[in-house]
Structure formats: structure tokens, C-alpha cells
Amino acid sequence: MAKYIFVTGGVTSSLGKGIIAASLAKLLQARGFKVTIQKFDPYINVDPGTLNPYEHGECYVTEDGAETDLDLGHYERFLNTYTSQANNVTTGRIYQTVINKERAGEFLGKTVQVVPHITDEIKRRMLLLGKDGKFDIVITEIGGTVGDIESLPFIEAVRQIQWELPDDDVVVVHLTLIPYLKAAKELKTKPTQHSVKMLSETGVHPDVIVCRTEEPLNNDIRRKIGLFCNVKPDAVIEAMDASTIYEVPLLMLREKLDVICMRKLGISVYPEPDLEKWKGFLDKLKYPKSKVTIGLIGKYIELQDAYKSILESFIHAGAINEAKVQVVNVHSEFITDENVGEKLSGLDGLLVAPGFGHRGTEGKIIAVQFAREQGLPFFGICLGMQMAVIEYARNVLGIKDAHSTEMEPDTANPVINMMEEQKKIKMMGGTMRLGAYPCDITKGSLAEKIYGTTQITERHRHRYEFNNDYLEQFEANGLKASGVNVDTGLVEIVEIPTHPFFIGVQYHPELKSTVERPAPLFVSFIAAAKKYNETKSNLISSLLQKETV
Ligand code: GLN
């Protein structure tokens, strides 16, 4: 049986529970424990797959094709291990299971209630990953803020687990905010006291309090929080704002968050954490030797969470290239033939982002054309790849009305088409082509150079595909399909061999990029952008030299 750590949040949302959970997990993993993290979300959607990115940020897809909360992305990026369907549970999924059981007659004769039926199902799922010996420690992040009506059944389940399991099998970590009042020059503990009181009223008492703060907590404040919230002063942990989320594990190590959790878990013998690789990455991240500017062309750019995994992948790839990646967000809806040169000037590479629906697609197509014609490194992901195919069809093959049936269902030239198996699907939730699929890469292609192999698997989330009726025409005219799923014939990668770096992928390589295993496509894209930047700088300096001569 595994041991369990629960992470709750108080005072406000967006305190970074996911990062604290992931950092704690990282430290325990670095000390040799097998750790996993799961997230329980209080909303009624069965999963976040049907949510607009504006609502909930990016939808993160696991190997086994679950559409999940973006915090699972942090868990994978920190731990360098895969999560699965079981690692993200919503109220909707809990109710769906219980209601399906009720319909099947499993509770025959009984009134089905929140307690015990809903809470039993929550408990079953909370304990599940710790059952088969695969993990020593299971960390569960409870979404939402303590005091929300909708998270009550989850908190009640934690209370019951705390009561049922031996004392040293469960730790509750509560993350709160200690606001700093500038006028009074004071840190305020009252909101934390209230939130711990509220948590205690439900019967759950935190063992550790992690305090998000802009100013350091002195010993008096720690004592005060400890005294009023009834935890030991050394179990009051300071979580200062960090310059990068990847610094947080080291901050938590300094505060002994892992040691205090292990003490409560009755673990007294443990090795020093092995964080060599992590620190190596941080060094490179903090002291880059060069800088590249990448344009991120998307339509959800107002909300950074919408492209979370892409932005994190840039950080991983930048570090390994010892380059700072500055991302310039360009709203695709406002790119026109007239302003494209100005909007995309000064960039060293262009990433056209994934997306759904018509809005902003014409701007993406114009951006692709610019990158293709200017020899600017180009990287298209999912919809970004589809836009590259449409652009090539229109401007190189001369098929002026080429389109995707997603945007124009009656187009005469559907170079991007709905996948056959998608045509009969009516239900929206969890019905896209999801999760990991293998892809065979052509020998000698750019893709092979990037991956260093001809066999890969990558994760998907889409309904449309490259239309193979046009494949010959594309290939004869310079756009090659260099990656194909051999079972289905679906084109997964396209590239232009005559361009310095032009690649589009139907899958989402950003979902597999971690600190210790940066996604090869991002690494090579940043390397190409670096080269572009150097060539550009050399050109400018030789022009300047000529002028001065
Ligand atoms: N909308 C496109 C499709 O469904 C692309 C999806 C995406 O970019 N994730 O195929």
C-alpha cells in the first residue's frame, strides 16, 4: 500500500497548487521514491475536453488518450513519467460512474446519496493508483478553493481517508496566500487562519501549511500562523514568488517541505535528493548565451494558459540550446497580406499553433506563406500543420480554393478532410483521435534528422487529416509527407526539403516535452532559429562594415 499526500488550496485560486504538488513530487522522486500525482476537479464536465481554452486553459492529452487538466502537463514535465486517465477525475466522472451503477441496478433498493455513494466513489479513485504497488507515494491535488460548495464531497472523502488509514499514511498540505499590505508594510495571516478554520470545520486538519507570499516570512509570522492554525512552526512553509516554476522544487527543498511530509509519513531513512540533472537544466535556463525570438501565431493568445505546453517546451528547448527564447504572441485574426511583413518582422522562427474553428485561420495561412517564402524557420502543430498544407495547395499548387472541411464543409478542394472514422461520430466528448499513435519516418528526411530514428510515437487530438487524394500532387511539387501512420495511412508529418527548416506535424509534440527529455522537434526548431538569427546578424554586420568602408 502506498502513502497519500493531499494538497488543498485556500484563500484564492491560481496559487499554483499544481506546481507545489509537482515540486513536492519531484523532491520525493529525487530521494528515490516512486511517486505519482493526480488531480481531482470539482466541475461537472466529465473531462475538460469540451471546454473552451478561455475557460480552462489548454487541454492536456495523456498517452492513453485522456483529455485532462493542464496541471497533468506540469506533473509529467517535472517527473518525466507518464500520467493516465486515472490521474484526472472530475465530479462529472464520479457522478457518471455512480449513476451508471444505479441504472445497472447495483444499489437496488437503496437511496443513492452524496454520502456514502459519491464519497465512496471518490475515495475508491483517490486510493486506486496506490493499490498495485507501482507507487510508494500518491499525491492528490484537490482543484478549487476550500469553502467552495462543489469541492465539499472531495474534502469529505479526504476526511474519511484520514480517519480510515493509519496516521502515518496520510498527509494534508494546505496552500494559502499571505498577502502583503504595502501601505502597512505588513504580511497578513488572517485569510490563512480563516481558510484553515474552514477546512477544519469539515473535519480535515492540515499537517503542513504552504504560504504563497511576495515577502519572506519571519519567525514571528511562522509562529503566529503555526499557533493559530495548529501546526508546528516548522510545518509552515514559505513559498516565495519564483522567477521560474522550475526553481520551485529547490525553494521547497530549502524549506524542507519534503522532509516534513516524510516525517508525518513515518519515513525516517531517506537518501539525499539527486537533483543533478534538474540543477544542470536550471543553470542553462538562467544563464543563456544567446537569444532567439519566436512568433507564436494563435487565436487564444490573450490567455497564456491556452498554449501552456508549447510555452514550456520552448523553455526546455531553449535551455538545452543555451538560448533564451523570447516568445512574441501574434494574434492570427489580425494578420493580413498588407501587414504580415510588419507583424512578423524581427522574428527568428514561426510557430503556428493548434486550434479549432474558422476564426483566425486565414491569418495563420498568410503567416505560413511569409515563413515559407522568406526562408524563416517554420513549425506547424496540428491546425498549424493543416494551415501549412492549405497554404501550399493555394500558393504553390495553384489550387486557389483549397481548404479544410472544418472551415468550409463544401469546399471543392478539401486538402484537409474529416477522418473517415470521425464522420459517423455525433457525441463531442472524448471522441477525437486522441492519445499516442506510432508514426514511421522517411529515411533521410528532416524529421529523421530531428528524431534520430524512423519510429516514433506522439500524442494526438484532432478530427481532421491530410487528404491523401492530393498526396502525389504535393510530393511532386516539393511538400513531402515524411511521417505516416502505417496502419491507417494518415500523414503525420509534412516538410519542405528545399527550405532551411519547414515542418508541420499533425500530432502534439509539446505534450511529451519534459525538463529531462525536451521534445526533439522543439530542440531542433530553436537550433534552426538560432542559426537564422546568427546568419541575420552576420549579414547586418557585414552590411554595416561595407557602409563604413
Ligand atoms: N481543428 C483541427 C482538427 O480537429 C486541429 C485540432 C488541433 O489543432 N488540435 O483536426
- Of ligand 1's listed atoms, the one at least distance from the Cα of 465 is 10
Q: How confident is the model over 75-130, as pLDDT tens digits?
A: 999 999 999 999 999 999 999 999 999 999 999 889 999 999 999 999 999 999 99
pLDDT given at position 54:
84
pLDDT given at position 537:
79
Instruction: Tell the residue nearest (CA) to atom 5 of ligand 1.
Output: 383
355 lines ligand 1 (CB under 6 A): yes
Grid cell locating 96: 457518471
- Of ligand 1's listed atoms, the one at least distance from the Cα of 357 is 1
Position 346 pLDDT exceeds 80 = yes
Question: What is the mean pLDDT of the segment spanning 130-144?
Answer: 96
pLDDT given at position 13:
86
pTM for the whole structure: 0.95
pLDDT given at position 538:
80
356 lines ligand 1 (CB under 6 A): yes
Measure the CA–CA gap between 281 and 162, rounded to whole angstroms.
37
- Which has more pLDDT, 431 or 330? 330
Q: Measuring CA to CA, which residue among 154, 165, 241, 242 is closest to residue 202?
A: 154
Measure the CA–CA gap between 191 and 12, rounded to whole angstroms.
10
Question: What is the mean pLDDT of the segment spanning 439-461?
Answer: 98
Distance 360 CA to ligand 1 centre (A): 13
* Percentage of residues of the chain with pLDDT beyond 90: 90
Q: Rounded to 5 degrees, what angle do the CA atoms 434, 438, 440 make?
A: 140
- In sequence order, the 6+-apart residues with CB closer than 8 A to the CB of 354 are 381, 382, 383, 384, 461, 508
State the amino acid at position 187 in one-letter form: L
Q: Is 382 a catalytic residue?
A: yes
Question: What is the mean pLDDT of the segment spanning 344-369?
Answer: 96
Position 536 pLDDT exceeds 90 = no
Best probe residue, ligand 1, of 423, 462, 511 (max atoms within 8 Å of C-beta): 462
Position 65 pLDDT exceeds 80 = yes
Q: Categorize the per-residue pLDDT at 29 as very low, low, confident or very high, splitting at 50, 70 and 90.
A: very high
Instruction: Tell the residue nearest (CA) to atom 1 of ligand 1.
Output: 356
Question: What is the mean pLDDT of the segment spanning 197-202?
Answer: 94
Measure the CA–CA gap between 157 and 159, rounded to whole angstroms.
5
pLDDT given at position 53:
85
Measure the CA–CA gap between 445 and 492, rounded to whole angstroms.
13
Taking a C-beta distance cutoff of 8 angstroms, is the pair 335, 350 a contact?
A: no
Q: Categorize the per-residue pLDDT at 540 as very low, low, confident or very high, splitting at 50, 70 and 90.
A: confident
Q: Categorize the per-residue pLDDT at 422 as very low, low, confident or very high, splitting at 50, 70 and 90.
A: confident
Distance 382 CA to ligand 1 centre (A): 6
378 lines ligand 1 (CB under 6 A): no
pLDDT given at position 548:
67
Measure the CA–CA gap between 35 and 94, rounded to whole angstroms.
24
Parallel/antiparallel/unpaired status of strands 491-495 and 378-381: unpaired
Measure the CA–CA gap between 64 and 85, rounded to whole angstroms.
7
Helix locations, 190-346, DSSP H: 190-201, 219-229, 248-254, 257-264, 276-286, 308-320, 340-343
Best probe residue, ligand 1, of 437, 463, 490 (max atoms within 8 Å of C-beta): 463
Measure the CA–CA gap between 14 and 17, rounded to whole angstroms.
8
Q: Categorize the per-residue pLDDT at 380 as very low, low, confident or very high, splitting at 50, 70 and 90.
A: very high
Grid cell locating 456: 516514433
Question: What is the mean pLDDT of the segment spanning 138-154?
Answer: 95
Q: Is 150 a catalytic residue?
A: no
Question: What is the mean pLDDT of the segment spanning 462-477?
Answer: 97
Position 354 pLDDT exceeds 90 = yes
- Tell me what the pLDDT averaged over the chain comes to: 95
Q: Measuring CA to CA, which residue among 17, 9, 13, 8 is closest to residue 245?
A: 17
Measure the CA–CA gap between 478 and 392, rounded to whole angstroms.
9
pLDDT given at position 546:
76
406 lines ligand 1 (CB under 6 A): yes
State the amino acid at position 510 in one-letter form: E
Position 489 pLDDT exceeds 90 = yes
Distance 354 CA to ligand 1 centre (A): 6
- Of ligand 1's listed atoms, the one at least distance from the Cα of 508 is 9
Measure the CA–CA gap between 173 and 359, rounded to whole angstroms.
43
Q: Measuring CA to CA, which residue among 312, 202, 201 is closest to residue 246?
A: 312
Q: Is 403 a catalytic residue?
A: no
Measure the CA–CA gap between 513 and 317, rounded to whole angstroms.
9
Q: Categorize the per-residue pLDDT at 549 as very low, low, confident or very high, splitting at 50, 70 and 90.
A: low
Catalytic residue among 382, 439, 465, 492: 382
How far is CA 489 from each of CA 383, 465, 483, rounded to the nearest angstrom?
19, 11, 10
- In sequence order, the 6+-apart residues with CB closer than 8 A to the CB of 174 are 7, 8, 9, 10, 146, 195, 196, 199, 206, 208, 209, 210
Residue 175 three-state SS: strand
Instruction: Tell the residue nearest (CA) to atom 6 of ligand 1.
Output: 462
HSE toward the beta carbon, residue 386, CA cutoff 13 A: 30
Helix locations, 266-400, DSSP H: 276-286, 308-320, 340-343, 361-374, 383-395
pLDDT given at position 508:
98
Q: How confident is the model over 265-308, as pLDDT tens digits?
A: 999 999 999 999 999 999 999 999 999 999 999 999 888 899 99
DSSP string of 450-488, one letter each residue: HHSSSEEEEEEEESEEE-GGGHHHHHHTT-EEEEE-TTT
Measure the CA–CA gap between 476 and 480, rounded to whole angstroms.
8
